[in-house]
Copies of this chain bind each other. A is one copy, B any other.
Amino acid sequence: MTDSAPPLNFYFDFSSPYGYLMAEKIDAVAARYGREVRWHPILLGVVFQATGGRPPADGVSSKGKYVLMDFHRSARFLGIPYNPPSRFPLPTQNAARAYYWLAEQNAGLAKRFALAVFRALFVDDQDISSPATVLDIAARLGVDDQKLAAALQSPEIKAQLKEECEQAIAIGVFGSPHVIIDGEAFFGADRLPQIEHWLKNGGF
Cβ-based interface call for A126 (8 A)? no
Which residues of chain B come closer than 8 Å to A63, judged between CB atoms? 51, 53, 174-175
B62 to A173, Cβ gap below 8 A?
yes
Q: A137-178, CB under 8 A of B: which get 1 and which 0?
A: 000000000000000000000000000000001001111000
The answer, yes or no, to whether A188 is at the interface (CB within 8 Å) is yes
State in angstroms the CA–CA spacing of A66 and B11 once bound together: 15
Size bracket, chain A contacts: 20 to 34
Interface residues of A in 54-94 (CB under 8 A from B): 61-63, 65-66, 69-70, 73-74, 76-77
A108 part of interface (Cβ distance < 8 Å): no
Which B residues lie within 8 Å of A187 (CB)?
66, 70
A76 CA to B193 CA, complexed, in Å: 13
A-B pairs, top 4 by smallest CB distance, nearest first, are A62-B174, A190-B190, A63-B174, A62-B172
Query: A197: CB under 8 A from chain B?
Result: yes
Chain B residue with Cβ nearest A74: B194
A191, chain B: closest CB distance, angstroms: 7
Complex Cα gap A16–B116 (Å): 39
Tell me if A185 is interfacial: C-beta within 8 Å of chain B.
yes
> Nearest-CB distance from A30 to chain B (Å)?
18
Q: A62-B172, A65-B172, A77-B194 are in contact. List 4 more A-B contacts (CB 8 A).
A: A51-B63, A69-B185, A188-B190, A190-B190
Shortest A187–chain B CB gap in Å is 6
Counting CB contacts under 8 A, is A202 at the interface?
no
- Interface centre among A62, A173, A188, A191, by most chain B C-beta atoms within 10 angstroms, is A62
